[in-house]
Amino acid sequence: MLYLLLLLVFAFANGEESLLVKIPDGLIEGYLSSSYKGRSYAEFRGIPYAKAPIGNLRFEDPVSVEPWEGKWIANQSTECTQVMHYTPEGGVSLGQEDCLHVNVYVPSNKINSNSNYDVIVHIHGGAFMFGSGDMYAGEKYLMDTNVVLVTLNYRVGVFGFLSTEDENLPGNIGMKDQVMALKWIKNNIKYFGGNPDSITITGLSAGGASVHFHLLSPLSRGLFSKAISSSGSSLNAWTIQEHAIEKTRKVAAAVGCNQKCTKELVKCLKTRNAAQLNEATRLLRTFMFNPFSPIGLVVDSASKNPFMPKHPYEILVKGEVYDVPYMISATVDEGLYPAADFASETILEKINKDWDEVAPLIMHYSEVISKEQMNEVSQKIRDFYIGDTDINKENYYQLIQMIGDRIFVADLDLTARLHSKAIKSDLYFYHFNYSAEEVPSVALLFSGSTETYGVCHGDDLMLIFSDTHSPTTAKLTEADEKMVQTMIGIWISFAHTGKPQFVPDWTPVSKNTDDALDYLFIQDSIEMKKSEDFGFRSFWHSLPFEENANLFKTKNVKTEL
Amino acid 407 reads: I
Catalytic residue among 457, 466, 541, 547: 457
For residue 554, the number of C-alpha atoms closer than 13 Å in the C-beta half-sphere is: 2
State in Å, rounded, how far the first CA of the chain is from the last one: 62
- The DSSP bridge partners found for residue 32 are 42
Q: Residue 29 — φ and ψ, nearest 5°?
A: -115, 125
What DSSP string describes 360-423? HHHTT-TTSS-HHHHHHHHHHHHHHHT-SS--SGGGHHHHHHHHHIIIIIHHHHHHHHHHHHH-
3-state secondary structure of 304: coil
The distance of Cα 492 from the centroid of its chain, to the nearest Å, equals: 19
Residue 431: CB partners within 8 Å, gap ≥ 6? 329, 330, 331, 332, 519, 520, 521, 522, 529
Q: Does residue 34 have an active-site annotation? A: no
What torsion, rounded to 10 degrees, do the Cα atoms 62, 68, 71, 72 define?
-10
The span from the CA of 129 to the CA of 155, in Å, is 9
Per the CB < 8 A criterion, the answer to whether 128 and 293 are in contact is yes
Q: Which residues of 391-405 are buried (b: 16+ CB within 10 A; e: fewer)?
A: beeebbbbbbbbbbb
Active-site hit among 77, 163, 205, 230: 205
Q: Does residue 246 carry a catalytic annotation? A: no
Closest CA to 113 of 182, 5, 33, 195: 195
Which runs of E-coded beta strand occur in 190-309?
194-204, 226-230
Check residue 67 and report its DSSP letter.
Answer: P
Q: Is 367 a catalytic residue?
A: no
**How far is it, in rounded angstroms, from Cα 79 to Cα 96?**
6
Closest CA to 283 of 252, 250, 240: 250
Backbone angles phi, psi at 99, to 5 degrees: -140, 5
Active-site entry in 43, 79, 139, 334: 334
At 358, the amino acid letter reads: V
- Residues designated catalytic: 205, 334, 457
